[in-house]
Amino acid sequence: MTPDDKRSYRPEGMADDAALLDESSSDPASDKSESGSATGTTARGNKPPRRAVSDIGFVGMLRFIWRQLTSMRVALLLLMLLAAAAIPGSIIPQRSADPRGYADYIAQYPERVEWFNKLQLFDVYTSVWFSAIYILLFISLIGCILPRTKVHLRALRAEPPRTPRNFDRLPAHHRIDLGAAGEAGQVSVAATGADPDGPSTAQENSSLKPSQPAARADSSAKFIAQGVRYLRGGWLRRYRVVTETEPSGAQVIRAERGYARETGNLLFHIALVGLLLSVAAGHLLHYRGQVILVQGRGFANAQVDYNTFEAGAWFDPQDLHPFRMTLDQFDAQFRLHDAAAQDFTAFVTIDDDGQTSQETIKVNHPLEIGGAKIYLQGNGYAPVVTVTDAAGEVALSGPVPFIPDDQVYTSQGTIKVPDVTSGEQFGLVGYLLPTADQPAPNTWRSIYPEPLDPMLVLTLWHGDLGLDEGIPQNVYRLDTSRMTQVTDGDDAVTIVLRVGESIDLPEGLGTLAFEGLDRYVALDLRHDPSLAYVLISSVAAMVGLAMSLFIPRRRMWLRVRDGVVEAGGLAKTDDFGLERAVRSLAEAAAYGQPLDDRDSDTVTSD
C-alpha cells in the first residue's frame, strides 16, 4: 500500500495530484467513474513491467517482498484468510472458551484428538497459523500507514491544487453568465451533472450585454469575496481557500476540504494497531482466578486462596492487591410460576488494609477493588454435612459445594472422605434437590430452585479415591476406577437424606449427617491493566472509520472572467452532494448566497 504503488492502492479521498494537475494526463473525471464502476473493467490496462525476481539481488528481494506484503491485494487476501481461519474455532469447541464442550468432544471423538492437537484446532485463536495471518496483516497494515501518514502530513500543509483550465472536464461544473456586471436579472445557466441519472439541466439562452471593464474588475472582486465567504462559512464548510489572478486576468479561487477524511482513515488504521498492542499487553500482564465462597466464609486475595489461578507471562505476584473478602449473604430471586431467575445479589464485606466496607456484587455489575474486578459467575448450594468413619471419628465436617445443573438447581456433587482413621476410603456421589418431590417410587426431582425442602440423593462407593497420587482431580467428579459401589442385591443403594437427618452408612462405613444448607457463590477475579487502552483504541477506530466513510473530500474552483462566474468541483470518492455544492458555490459568488437554501454540505455528503 505504498503511495507510489498506485496500481494496487489508491487511498480513498486522496486526489491523485498528478492526474489532476497535469491536464494532459488522464481525465480527472474518469477517476470518479472508476471508483463507482460496477463493471470492474475500467482498471487501467498498463501494468507496471514485472521484473524477474532473480536479477534484483537480496535487498531487491526484500523490497519486493515488502512491496507485495504491503500491497492492497495481499492485505485483502489476508483479510479473507483471517475470516476463513476464524471459522473452525466456532465449530470445534475450544479448550479455553468452552472447556466443557471440549471435554465432551474429546470423549466423543477420541480418535480425532491427536491430529486436532497437532493442527491446534482446539486452540485456533492462539494457533501458529491464525497468529501468522494476523501478524502478517498487521505488518501489512503498518506498511500502509507509514507512507500514507507522510503523504497526508504533506497534504495537510499544501495549498489547494492549481485551477484546471477547462471546467467542462470536471465531474461537476456550473456556469452563471451575469452579462453586464452584477445585473443578475439576465442570467444564463449551463450546468452538467456528474451523475447521468440525475436531473438534467436545460441550457437557457443567454443575452449578453456589452459591459464596462472597470465595473467588471470591481464586481469580480466582489464575486470572489462572496465565493470565499461561502467556502468558509459554516462549520462543515471549512474549505482551505486560496485566491489568485491568472495571467489572463481572470480571478480564481481554489479550495479544498475534507482533509479529515484521510485523517480519519489513518486514525482508524493506527487505532487497530493500538488495539492489537493493548490486547497483547493485556495477555502478558493480566491475572484471573476463580474462587468458590460459601456464605459466612472469607477469602484473601492471594494465589493460594484461589481454586484456579492463571496469569500472563509478565504478571508479578506483587500485583495482587491484598484484601480480604467475606460473603455475608447471597440473595436469589426466582419467579414462582416458572422458577425463572429474576435477580442475584452477593453481599460481601471487604477488608482492604484495615478499612472495611460493605459491598454488593451482581450479574452485570462487577465489584472493583485495587484495579481488579470481581464477577459473580455462578451460585449454588453447599450442603453442610458431617461424616464419621468406621471408628466413629469425625472424618469430614462442613459445607460441600454442589453444582447446579438446571433451572431448578438440581445439583450434582460428591462427598469424598479420604481421611479415615481405619478402613477403606469412601465417597458419596449424587444430587442435591433444593425442593424435593417424589413423582414415583424411587424417583426424586427438584421442582423449585429455592431450598423449601432440601434433600440429598446419593450413592456410595468405597475403595481408593485416587487422591494420593497428587494428580489434580475434579472435585465434583468421583473417579470410580478403583472403587466399588455399595449395592443391595443388584441395585445400588440409594441414600436419601433430608436436612437434620442422619444415617448409618451400609457395610459399617460410618455415618452421614445432613445438617444444613449453605449458599455459595462462584466468583471470578480479574485484573487486566490494558482495558482502558483497548477501549480507547476501539472507540478511536470507530470514530476514524466514520470520518473516513462520511466526510466528503472535495476540491472546488471558481473562476470569474468577463461577468461569467464559473465553478467546478472534483471529488475522489462517490460524492452525491458534489453537484449541488458546485452550483451553490457559483450562486453564492454571483448573488451573495445560494439560491437553494438547503445546505449542501451535510456530513453524509448528501
Task: Report the site for other proteins in 511-530 (rule: CB under 8 A).
Answer: 524, 526
Nearer to other proteins, 309 or 576 (CB): 576
The strand ranges marked E within 389-476 are: 394-399, 403-404, 411-417, 425-433, 436-440, 443-446, 455-463
95-103, 108-116, 482-490, 585-593 -> range binding other proteins (CB under 8 A): 95-103
Query: What b/e sequence results for 425-438 when a residue is b if at least 16 CB atoms lie within 10 Å of its CB, and e otherwise?
Result: bbbbbbbbbbbbee
> Which lies closer to other proteins via its Cβ, residue 45 or residue 439?
45
**Per-residue DSSP letters for 342-403?**
EEEEEEEEEEETTEEEEEEEETTB-EEETTEEEEEEEEEEEEEEEEE-TTS-EEEEEE---E
Q: Which is nearer to other proteins, 196 or 441 (CB)?
A: 196
**Closest distance of CB 93 from other proteins, Å:** 9
Q: How far is the CB of 444 from other proteins (least distance, A)?
A: 26
Kindly tell me which of 40 and 210 has the beta carbon lying closer to other proteins: 40
Return the ∠ at Cα 561 (arms to 555 and 566), rounded to 5°.
35
> Sign of the CA dihedral 545, 551, 552, 554?
negative
CB of 159 to other proteins, least distance (A): 26
Closest approach, Cβ 316 to other proteins, in A, equals 21
Residue of 488, 589, 485, 603 whose CA lies nearest to 187:
589
Residue 535 found at the interface with other proteins (CB under 8 A): yes
The SS3 of residue 23 is: coil
208, 179 Cβ separation under 8 angstroms: yes
CB-nearer residue toward other proteins: 100 or 157:
100
Amino acid, res. 462: H
Q: Would you count residue 283 as binding other proteins (CB under 8 A)?
A: no
- According to DSSP, residue 421 is labeled S
Which of 540/590 has CB closer to other proteins? 540
Told to check if 238 binds other proteins by CB under 8 A, we report no
Subset of residues 566 to 585 that bind other proteins, contact rule: CB under 8 A: 574, 576
Q: Which is nearer to other proteins, 13 or 430 (CB)?
A: 13
As a whole number of angstroms, the distance between CA 63 and CA 76 comes to 20
Q: Residue 284, interface with other proteins (CB under 8 A)?
A: no
Question: Binding marks (x or -) toward other proteins, 328..357, rule CB under 8 A?
Answer: ------------xxxxx-------------
CA distance 536 to 521: 33
Closer Cβ to other proteins, 140 or 251, answer by number: 140
Residue 102, helix vs strand vs coil: helix
The C-alpha cell of 67 is what? 512491496
The minimum distance between CB 535 and other proteins, in angstroms, equals 7
CB of 19 to other proteins, least distance (A): 13
368 binds other proteins (CB under 8 A): no
Interacting residue with other proteins among 80, 103, 153, 156 (CB under 8 A): 80
Shortest distance in whole angstroms from residue 539 CB to other proteins: 7
Q: Contact 505/385 with Cβ under 8 angstroms?
A: no
- Compose the 378-417 pattern: x for residues touching other proteins by CB under 8 A, - for all others: ----------------------------------------
Phi, psi of 94 (to 5 degrees): -90, 140
Is residue 373 within the footprint of other proteins (CB under 8 A)? yes
Stretch that binds other proteins, among 53-61, 83-91, 227-235, 585-593 (CB under 8 A): 83-91
Q: How far is the CB of 294 from other proteins (least distance, A)?
A: 20
Instruction: Indicate the residue among 75 and 395 with the shorter CB distance to other proteins.
Output: 75
Residues 9-48, interacting with other proteins (CB under 8 A): 9-12, 33-44
The single residue listed with the C-alpha cell 471459522 is: 87
CB of 153 to other proteins, least distance (A): 20
Choices 2-10, 53-61, 180-188, 389-397; region in contact with other proteins by CB under 8 A: 2-10
Q: What phi and psi values does residue 223 have, to the nearest 5 degrees?
A: -60, -45
550 binds other proteins (CB under 8 A): yes
Task: Give the count of residues interacting with other proteins (CB under 8 A).
Answer: 73
Question: Which residues have C-beta within 8 Å of that of residue 488, sequence separation ≥ 6?
Answer: 506
Count CB-CB contacts under 10 A for residue 40: 7
- The radius of gyration of the chain from alpha carbons, rounded to an integer in Å, stands at 38
Question: By C-alpha distance, which of 201, 217, 208 is closest to 177?
Answer: 208
The one among 62, 546, 595, 603 contacting other proteins by CB under 8 A: 546
Instruction: Kindly state whether residue 87 participates in binding other proteins, applying the rule CB under 8 A.
Output: yes
Q: Which is nearer to other proteins, 43 or 132 (CB)?
A: 43
Of 452-481, binders to other proteins (CB under 8 A) are: none
Site string for other proteins, 163-192 (x = CB under 8 A): ------------------------------
Question: CA nearest 551: which of 7, 139, 14?
Answer: 14
- DSSP SS3 for 467: coil
Instruction: Name which of residues 186 to 225 contact other proteins (CB under 8 A).
Output: 195-197
Residue linked to cell 469447541: 93
Among 15, 75, 417, 589, binds other proteins (CB under 8 A): 75
Tell which one of 51, 73, 165, 321 touches other proteins (CB under 8 A): 73
Looking at 19, 29, 69, 82, which residue binds other proteins (CB under 8 A)?
82
Answer for the pair 12, 552: CB distance below 8 angstroms, yes or no. Answer: no
Determine, following the binding rule CB under 8 A, whether residue 327 of this chain makes contact with other proteins: no
**Nearer to other proteins (CB atom), residue 31 or residue 587:** 31
Reference 34, options 23, 44, 25, 47; nearest CA is 44
Instruction: Kindly state whether residue 124 participates in binding other proteins, applying the rule CB under 8 A.
Output: yes
Which phi and psi (to 5°) does residue 345 adopt?
Answer: -140, 130
DSSP per-residue letters across 534-567: HHHHHHHHHHHHHHHHHS--EEEEEEEETTEEEE
Min. distance of Cβ 418 from other proteins in angstroms? 32
Distance of CA 553 to the CA centre of its chain: 28
Per CB under 8 A, the list member of 18, 280, 539, 603 interacting with other proteins is 539
**Minimum CB–partner distance for residue 205 and other proteins (Å):** 29
